[in-house]
Amino acid sequence: MSVDQGKGERSRRDVLASAAILTLAAAWPARAAGRRHVVVIDKMAFGAPPSDVKVGDTITWTNRDIVRHTATERSGAFDLDLPPGASASAVMSRAGVVPYYCRYHPVMRGEISVGV
């Protein structure tokens, strides 16, 4: 019984400790990330991908072409409509390589490397 209870207390402590770590982990990217990056679209091409992008950062696409574009993530994480001269943004919510393209001009492709 007492052993069980002790186990229970340990588990509770472990849970609390884990929760504290998780809270710190959650707070950490919020401090380190949250920066803004810009990708310019011009002459039917997405500009060079920004470097040092982290989860929680915002990417803004700006369309300098005279035709309408989109920035559409392959798995549907974001799908931004970009009329000529317009800008639109998406927050990078997961780490990894984020491939995207223009729905109207599928030959136009880009990707962003998102770190934790």
Partner 1 sequence: MFKCLLVVGALALAPLSAAQAQSHPQASAPAAQPSDPQIAHIAYTAGQLDIEAADQALAKSTNAEVRAFAETMKRDHAAVNEQAMALVKKLNVTPEANATSTALTEAAARERERLSGLSGMAFDKAYIDNEVAFHRTVNEALRGTLIPGARNAELKALLERGLALFQEHQAHAEQLARHVR
Positions that interact with partner 1 (CB under 8 A): 43-45, 65-68, 84, 104-108
Residue 28 or 104: the one with the smaller Cβ distance to partner 1 is 104
Residue 54 or 103: the one with the smaller Cβ distance to partner 1 is 103
Distance CA 19, CA 114 (A): 25
Distance CA 57, CA 93 (A): 8
Nearest to 39 by CA among 76, 67, 66, 69: 69
Query: Please, what is the minimum distance in Å from the beta carbon of residue 47 to partner 1?
Result: 14
3-state secondary structure of 11: helix
Residue 6 or 84: the one with the smaller Cβ distance to partner 1 is 84
Query: Please, what is the minimum distance in Å from the beta carbon of residue 66 to partner 1?
Result: 5
Count of helices and strands (H, E) across the chain: 1, 9
Query: Please, what is the minimum distance in Å from the beta carbon of residue 101 to partner 1?
Result: 11
